[in-house]
Every structure is written in structure tokens, then in C-alpha cells.
Chains A and B, each alone.
Chain A
Amino acid sequence: MVTIGIDVGAKNAKILILKDGEILISKYRESGFDQAGVTTALLDETLAELKLTRDDITSICSTGAGRKAVTFANEVVTEVSATSRATFEMYPEVRTVIDVGAEEGRAIRCGERGKVEDFAINEKCAAGSGAFTEAMARALELTVEELGKISLDSSASVPMNAQCAVFAESEVISLLHANTAKQDIAKAIHDAIASRIVSMTRRVGLNKPIALVGGMARNVGFVHSLNAAIEDEVLIPDSPEMTAAYGAALIAAERAA
């Protein structure tokens, strides 16, 4: 049985194709304004690469903020359930998963078989998300990758409020003017995001081991700060940004069975 999970996030659309439980392929591209057009093109190109047609597909499940744009999906599920389901598949022992994407940070308490027992999402503010690091990297004239890497060179602890992405940018500028080293500012940024994420996670329960998924799991500086905050090492899958798409594909398979 071939099933597909499509996760249309705030920044990227992700597709993952599953055959009898094995991942055949996964791809992503910017979701842009025309989410329906982007996901349709992504689907057709990915199928062509595998020499498959839509007739070969048993079920498609969409998820993510733009899931309703995937008009050809026959199943829809929220990213909370999809992420929880995929996490269970990858790490059956994990009961807490943190998912940090472009605009949202989420913490999910997972139960048996990947059931969602509780969840928390950052409130109306992107200060604990990928978009925040992008803004901060811009202020420091760095790429996001560089921002992550240089923060590992710092052992300083510079307090930063980071309640608001715009004000945090002013804070970064002030620190630059005070001749604070870039790596120390970079670490302060990641510490602040990690603190916000951990605070949110405590609302659902911070039970170790903890999995970290979503695009921000690729930011080594954030991961370092998060590990320090939880005093443990988070588990990160090979393709952390594909987690919700993977969960959607798994749910599609289960519902079709």
C-alpha cells in the first residue's frame, strides 16, 4: 500500500511517500502564496520521480497550517496528531515531543500508541520559532546556519528578554553597540528561545527522553541551548522537518487499512 503525507507549513510544504511502512522519498519546497499549486506540483514531480501515478496511491493525508489547501487529500489531520503519531513510530519510548517550526512552537504529551494526551502551542507570537531566528540572524548579518554554529563558541550567559521579535531585534542592536561578541549574542538568542520553549513544554509535562522535531531541530545552537535547559539530550530524527508529513502518511495508511 502506498500512502502520502503532505504537511503544508507556514514556510515550506513537505511531502513524504510511504510504501508498506517504508519511506520511499521525502521532499520539500517553499509553500508560498499558491499553496494549492505548490503542493500539486510537488506531488506530481515526486510521483514522476518514483515512476508512480496517482492511481498507485491508496490514500493521501494532509496536515499543517495550510492543510485545507490540499484539495486532493482524502484525509486531513492536525499537525499535533500527525507529529505525535510519527514520534511514536520513531521513538516509542518518548512521551514528550517538542516541535519547532517556522512560526509555531508546540509541545505534545504523547500517550500509548502515539495518542495525544495534551498539547501547548505558543500564543500569537513567533518569538519561540524559526522566524525569530531568521530575524535575529538578519540583525547580526549572519545566515541562520552561521547563527547556530557561532553560538557554540560562546560560554557566556547574556540575559535577553525576547518576548517580542521586534523588540528582541532592538535588544540585539543594543548588545552590538555595547560591544558584546556576536557569538555571545547568538547564544543569548538561542537560550531565550529555548527558555520559552521549555516553559511552554512544562505546561504539558517535561518527561524525558524528549524528542525534538521541526525545522529548528537543524539549528545546532538552539539544540545546544535546549539540551542545557532540559539538562538532557533531545532525540532528533534524520529529517526532523518531515515528522508531521511522516505522521500524516502513517495515519493515511492506518485509516485505509
Chain B
Amino acid sequence: MFSQFETWYRDRHEYARKWKDRTGGKVFGCFCSYVPEEILVAANILPVRVLGSHEPQDVTEQHLFGMFCPFCRDVLAQGLKGRYEYLDGITLAQACIHLRQAYRAWEENVEHPFSYYLPHPMHVASPHAVPYLKEELKNFRKAVEEHTGVTLTDEDLDRGIRILNENRAAMHDLYELRKGPAPKVSGLEAMWVTVSSTWIDKEEHTAEIRRVLAEIDGRDKDFGEGTRLMFVGSENDDTDFLGMVEMVGATVVVDDHCTGTRYFWNQTPEMDDRIEAIAKRYVERPACPAKDHVVRTRFPHILKLAQEYDVAGVILIQQKFCDPHETDMVPLRSFLEENGFPCLFLEFDVTVPMGQFRIRVEAFLEMLMEEDLF
């Protein structure tokens, strides 16, 4: 039922190349989920999130300091190894400095016709955040217009906003199915959907979700037997790890990842000023910890998800050396545990020690189910 999403997840580059051949359009690589894709889609550009490949590599050492996170190294390695050679442009929305450095090294070492560093408010709770981002988005829009030679109209922006919002709504509907006691969607399937949404043509992706949603009532299996878990962390597209967690007796029912709910959770509102609407959407979306200061919106948001999806526990997925998430990890764990959600902390690298992690996950599940164990 979800095989198309799995194929998209595995064959991301082949998909993008074929999309270019088929449409004659441009493809832009997006570093970070804060890139305003509405503007790119309005210009008929395919935005693709640049992620790593979970393989050891030896090409980034001269570009990135040793204690930069494994994700930014893995991302940069993809560029240096030529795996995104089809990109017409790259753009980074500022959130963390590790990824910014990966972007800078990519920009200096890999040729693309277009690159754009998009400054982005770090203090998103400030009343100045939306006006500030609005002005930056105007500059970004202008740069995209100059590159494509097309002046974007309000109708173009409306189309971009509509296409993004429809995809977000479809993923929301899919996540709704995971709230009940017998979810018809596994965590692994949901990860194929959400991660692939970051690089597949949004209209095509939305249509495939709608097709699945129309058929899912007739599905003859569910995932109600597993212990309900939530994943929380930065970027996470590690399907091998998630697959292992579900194989040993869990069902992952919700997440707070920038490749998951943080990416699609809120809609761009309808406003006369489309650019302001887009700015508002990215300022008000579930926050990355890099931007969640001084006012903290992230913790209550995560708690609400844990409660609504009725999880028994939370796996805290920490990319090694990811400073923003490391900042949150200690207080977040205490906060969740004080609110009745036990946590398992795991530190991730480009590859993970599956055997060791399996023991930890199984011990965690035993801990959550001990009434049955003893």
C-alpha cells in the first residue's frame, strides 16, 4: 500500500532527474526545513530537501570541524560526491551554524547556477520576526525571479501556497489515523511518506496520499499490538533504525522531527499579502530548538502531541554534536518524565550501532511493559 513512498524514499535522485526530463523545470536543493518552498513551487521549481545517505565517507574532513554534527557532514558529502549534480540551485534558511558551514563548503566546491543564503529570524517569538522575515522573503523572491526570468504574480504565489497546504493537510489526515488504538499505518510507512514529501513533486505526493487514504479502511492489518512510542529529535530519516524499533515490539505513532511533523504541521494562512502569509507560517511553525528561545513553545507542543497520540514513552534521538538539540535534551527529558512520559535517550551518528541500540530499545520496552513481565 505504501510501496510508492518507499520507492520514492529510496530513489530520490532518479525521481528528480526524471522530473526534470519530464517537465523541463528546475530543481533546487533545500538545506533545512525553513526554506519557504511556496515561493519555489510558485516559480515551478521542484524543491528537494538535501539529506545524507547514512554511509561512512572521507571527503568532508577538510571542510568541517571535527565536532560538527554527523548530519551536516553527511549532507556535504552528498554534494562533494556529486550525487546532487542535477540541482539548478541551492538555498539555505538559517537555523543552525553547522549546516550553514556545510552549505558554504558545498557552495564553494560544487557548481550550481544559483545559490541563496536566506537569513531567518532566530527569535521567532519576537513581534519583529514576521516583518523581518517578510523583507528577507521579498529579497528571496526577487532572486528567484531574476534567476528564472519570470515575475511571480499573486496567482502564482496562491498556487504555491495551495499546493504546499494541500500536501500538509494530506499528511495531517494520515497522522490522524495513527491516533487510534489500532493504527492502520506503521511508523516506518509514515516515515517513508513524510521524508519523501520533502523531495517529491507535492501535487503528485498529495495524490498518492489521498489514494492510500481512500483505500486504507479496507486494509486487513493494523499496528495496535505495538507499544506506542513517540520519536523526538532533529532531522531523522533513518528507516533502518525505525524498522528495528517496530520489529522488536513498538509502534511509532508520532514524532517531532524536521523531517516529520515540524515540516508539515501548520498551514500558510490566507492573507492579502502573500509574502507576509508565508513569513507568518515559517515563524509560527513548530520551532526548531535553535529558534525556541527565550519563549519556549516547543516543550508544550511536544507534550500535547505525546498526549494526543497516547504514547507510552518517547525515544529522544540526538544527532551527535547537534548543539541546538543538546541544549534542549536535558530539560526536555525532565519535562517529559515529570509529565508521565518515560524517555530513552540515544545518540545518533551517520550509522548507528544497531545491536547496541536494539538492546537499549528492548530494555526500554520491557520497562514500559513491566506489569506483563513480572
Q: Does A78 contact B (CB under 8 A)?
A: yes
B359: which of A65, A85, A113, A115 is its contact (CB, 8 Å)?
Answer: A65
Q: Annotate B353-374 by CB proximity to A: 1 below 8 A, 0 otherwise.
A: 1011001101100110010011
Q: Does B347 contact A (CB under 8 A)?
A: yes
Q: Does B269 contact A (CB under 8 A)?
A: no
Q: Does B342 contact A (CB under 8 A)?
A: yes
> Smallest distance from the beta carbon of B247 to chain A beta carbons, Å?
12
> Smallest distance from the beta carbon of A10 to chain B beta carbons, Å?
11
Chain B, Cβ-Cβ closest to A114: B374
CA distance A20 to B347 in the complex (A): 42
Contacts of A77 in B (CB 8 A): 366, 373
Q: Does A121 contact B (CB under 8 A)?
A: yes
User: Does B363 contact A124, Cβ atoms closer than 8 Å?
Assistant: no
User: Does B353 contact A119, Cβ atoms closer than 8 Å?
Assistant: no
User: Does A116 contact B363, Cβ atoms closer than 8 Å?
Assistant: yes
Q: Annotate B331-354 by CB proximity to A: 1 below 8 A, 0 otherwise.
A: 000000000001000010000010
> Smallest distance from the beta carbon of A116 to chain B beta carbons, Å?
4
A121 touching B360 in the complex, CB below 8 Å, given contacts A81-B373, A115-B374: yes
CA distance A201 to B205 in the complex (A): 47
CA distance A121 to B359 in the complex (A): 10
User: Does B374 contact A254, Cβ atoms closer than 8 Å?
Assistant: yes
User: Does A251 contact B355, Cβ atoms closer than 8 Å?
Assistant: no
User: Does A124 contact B353, Cβ atoms closer than 8 Å?
Assistant: yes
User: Does B353 contact A81, Cβ atoms closer than 8 Å?
Assistant: no
Q: Annotate A67-89 by CB proximity to B: 1 below 8 A, 0 otherwise.
A: 00000000001111100010000
B347: which of A80, A113, A124, A254 is its contact (CB, 8 Å)?
Answer: A124
> Smallest distance from the beta carbon of A78 to chain B beta carbons, Å?
4
User: Does B367 contact A80, Cβ atoms closer than 8 Å?
Assistant: yes
A251 touching B374 in the complex, CB below 8 Å, given contacts A80-B366, A80-B367: yes
User: Does B366 contact A78, Cβ atoms closer than 8 Å?
Assistant: yes
Q: Does A123 contact B (CB under 8 A)?
A: yes
Total interface residues on B, using CB and 8 Å? 14
CA distance A85 to B370 in the complex (A): 11
User: Does B370 contact A116, Cβ atoms closer than 8 Å?
Assistant: yes
User: Does A116 contact B353, Cβ atoms closer than 8 Å?
Assistant: no
User: Does A81 contact B355, Cβ atoms closer than 8 Å?
Assistant: no
Contacts of A117 in B (CB 8 A): 367
User: Does A79 contact B370, Cβ atoms closer than 8 Å?
Assistant: no
Q: Annotate A93-125 by CB proximity to B: 1 below 8 A, 0 otherwise.
A: 000000000000000000001111111010110
Chain B, Cβ-Cβ closest to A67: B359
A124 touching B356 in the complex, CB below 8 Å, given contacts A118-B342, A118-B367: yes
Contacts of B356 in A (CB 8 A): 121, 124
B363: which of A78, A85, A251, A254 is its contact (CB, 8 Å)?
Answer: A78
CA distance A65 to B354 in the complex (A): 12
Contacts of A121 in B (CB 8 A): 356, 359-360
Q: Annotate A232-248 by CB proximity to B: 1 below 8 A, 0 otherwise.
A: 00000000000000000
> Smallest distance from the beta carbon of A36 to chain B beta carbons, Å?
16
Closest 4 CB pairs of A and B: A80-B363, A78-B363, A116-B367, A81-B366
17 extra A-B contacts, CB within 8 A, seeds A116-B366, A119-B363: A65-B355, A77-B366, A78-B366, A79-B363, A80-B367, A81-B363, A81-B366, A81-B370, A114-B374, A115-B367, A116-B370, A118-B342, A118-B367, A121-B356, A123-B347, A124-B347, A254-B374
Q: List 10 A-B contacts (CB under 8 A).
A: A65-B355, A77-B366, A78-B366, A81-B363, A81-B373, A117-B367, A118-B342, A119-B363, A124-B347, A254-B374
